[in-house]
Amino acid sequence: MHKASVDNRTRVLNAARELLQTRGINAFSHRDLAERVGIKSSSVHYYFPTKEDLGVALIRSYQHELTEFFEATATLPTVIERLTRFCGLFEGTAKAGGRLCLAGMLASDFATLGPSLQSEVRAFFQLVEAWLAAQAALSKPERSPAANADLSQLAFSLLEGVLLSARVFDDPDRTRRAARHIQQLFGSPSV
């Protein structure tokens, strides 16, 4: 692929990500993307023949970014520091002009997604919940694996939900308050 093609593909992905995070995957078309990027609709279809292909590319990119984030935060000395950074992602999203988590937006449209995109969204949620469960286990080693799994699901649900209410009330600080409660739920970790 030559440079212009790579640049157009990236521009399409960036525009799609913004539209998905603000409107949802069902509220924009390939034509909308073409207009935003300044290319023909057929060019968008060249890179992403279907909306499913586009969604899969977006969630895989998002998962890759999150995996890199987890690797980068692994060197932080405490669970609280890692949780603070993780919750900061949600705070940043809340402050980004009405955006919601890309995976959360896809989850809200889950019933209308094709099987491959559903699978990718489910894998993303599993990745996040596994990481949170590992942090819960580090914060209180005496807690059972089942309790850690429950806590990870609760924490992730709280973060996804607080983005919705932050958007409704135009109050991004709700994410910071939710983060404090998550840290309390995880306990005062020493690692």
DSSP 114: -
> Which candidate, 87, 115, 119, places its Cα nearest to that of 103?
119
Q: What integer pLDDT is reported at residue 66 of this predicted model?
A: 98
Q: What integer pLDDT is reported at residue 187 of this predicted model?
A: 81
- For residue 153, is it within any domain? yes
- Shared domain check, 158 and 90: yes
Structural domain harbouring 151: 51-186
Q: What integer pLDDT is reported at residue 14 of this predicted model?
A: 97
Question: What is the pTM assigned to this prediction?
Answer: 0.92
Q: What integer pLDDT is reported at residue 189 of this predicted model?
A: 47
Query: Which pair of structure tokens corresponds to residue 5?
Result: 């093609």
Mean pLDDT (10-residue bins), the chain, 191 residues: 70 97 96 96 96 98 98 95 96 92 97 98 98 96 96 97 95 94 78 45
- Shared domain check, 14 and 102: no
